[in-house]
Structure 1
Amino acid sequence: MAFEDLLEDPVIQKYLHELVGPTGMPVAAAPPDGEVTDEELAEELGLELNDVRRALFILYENDLASYRRVRDEDSGWLTYLWTFQYDNIPENLEEELHRLLEGMEERRDYERDHQFYLCEVDSIRFEFEEAMEFGFECPECGSPLESMENSRLLESVEDRIAELRDELGVDRDREPAEA
């Protein structure tokens, strides 16, 4: 995928937005060619220097930007020259999907392994042990807690797991390793 196409991809735009937020998005969405200072970016984009620095640091933490320091011989000041490295975005997105898959598998196991009770008045869900501690009465309003069927939620989680496995090319029959 060409660099320009990469930045026009809505999934990648959303990923960058999730990383840097709305104030950092102008920095992430229009990376210059070559090296640039944070001051140059702030001036060019009309942003506060702190917002630019925050966005650059987040991009750096996610291996999407790097910098080199140059010391001014006269003043001794350090200047940071930033370079954007968006080639790592597809790999980062795949890692995110693997983390999401792992989280969904944990959620599936949690939903399978627990029995739940619901306060229909306050819409609060309790595990069996919590419900028992409260005498099967809602601690907020005193209403009786009703046994809750979570098969629709479990089915939704299973469907999402299947989608993620398909997208990642992970074997459907694979169960998470026991800890």
Structure 2
Amino acid sequence: MILTAVKKVGGDGLFASIIEEIGGENAVKVANALSDKDEATDEEIAEKTEMRLNAVRKVLYRLYENRLASYRRTRDTRTGWFIYFWKLNPEKLRNLIISRKCMVCQRLKERLEYERGNMIFHCGDANCEQLTFDIAMDASFKCPNCSKTLIFVRNDKSIELLENKIEELENELRDLKF
């Protein structure tokens, strides 16, 4: 399987799953090609993976943006062009996970603030969206989509769920940072 070589680099497969999330199946192929060597050029990777050079470069740049790959650059004395030697940085995975969890936690906190700060109304139809008090009042408490009467929705369970998830993420972040 393609992920096995990347699992070798990342230990428990977490590195492989993050690579796949970032760049899909092509990123896994590129990571597998890189995991066999300390470093390789984009041309070598393209040849080994049988991918187009542009596709390989695109994946490498995405991995670089996420700090999971790095390069060193040398000048070819014969042609004068730069040659890039790429390598994987599985040790940077921890920082990437921390930053992503922080981002998710922040979004959940914003949603919690929204849930706490708004009265929510809904008509009961799964195809219609929930509305805040101000919007429901402007619509005379009639659903703008189906014209049914809007009813107050208690969001205590949503708030509790968000609080629990935020607490869980904050505990995970505390553990990861130390």
Q: TM exceeds 0.5?
A: yes
Residue of structure 2 aligned with 1:153, choices 158, 169, 176: 158
Partner of 2:129: 124
Q: Does 1:9 align with 2:8?
A: no
Shift of 1:140: 1.6
Shift of 1:44: 0.7
Alignment of structure 1 residues 74-113 onto 2, 5 Å: 74-113=78-117
8 Å Cα contact 2:120-2:152 kept in structure 1: yes
Per-residue deviation, residues 57-115 of structure 1 (Å, max 9, x unmatched): 01111122122222222222222111222211112212222222222222111111111
Shift of 1:123: 3.2
Shift of 1:6: 5.6
Normalised to the residue count of structure 2, the TM-score between the two structures is 0.83
Normalised to the residue count of structure 1, the TM-score between the two structures is 0.82
Q: CA 1:5/1:112 → structure 2, altered by over 3 Å: closer, same or farther?
A: farther
Amino acid paired to 1:39: E
Partner of 1:72: 76
Q: Does 1:19 align with 2:5?
A: no
Partner of 2:3: none
Give the secondary structure class of the aligned counterpart of 2:34. Answer: coil
C-alpha separation in 2, matches of 1:13 and 1:135:
52
Partner of 2:43: 39
8 Å Cα contact 2:68-2:93 kept in structure 1: yes
Give the secondary structure class of the aligned counterpart of 1:80. Answer: strand
8 Å Cα contact 1:7-1:13 kept in structure 2: yes
Q: Which runs of 5+ in 1 are unaligned?
A: 171-179
Amino acid paired to 1:124: E
User: Considering only aligned residues, what root-mean-square deviation do their CA atoms show, in Å?
Assistant: 2.1
C-alpha separation in 2, matches of 1:144 and 1:6:
57
Amino acid paired to 1:70: T
Q: Does 1:28 align with 2:36?
A: no
Partner of 1:60: 64
Q: Which runs of 5+ in 2 are unaligned?
A: 1-5
Count, aligned residues: 168
Residue of structure 1 aligned with 2:172, choices 152, 156, 167: 167
C-alpha separation in 2, matches of 1:91 and 1:120:
43
C-alpha separation in 1, matches of 2:114 and 2:9:
37
Amino acid paired to 1:116: I
Task: Tell me which protein shows more helix as a share of its residues.
Answer: 2
C-alpha separation in 1, matches of 2:32 and 2:109:
33
The percentage of aligned residue pairs carrying the same residue is: 33
C-alpha separation in 2, matches of 1:94 and 1:63:
13
Give the secondary structure class of the aligned counterpart of 1:164. Answer: helix
8 Å Cα contact 2:7-2:14 kept in structure 1: no
Shift of 1:119: 2.6
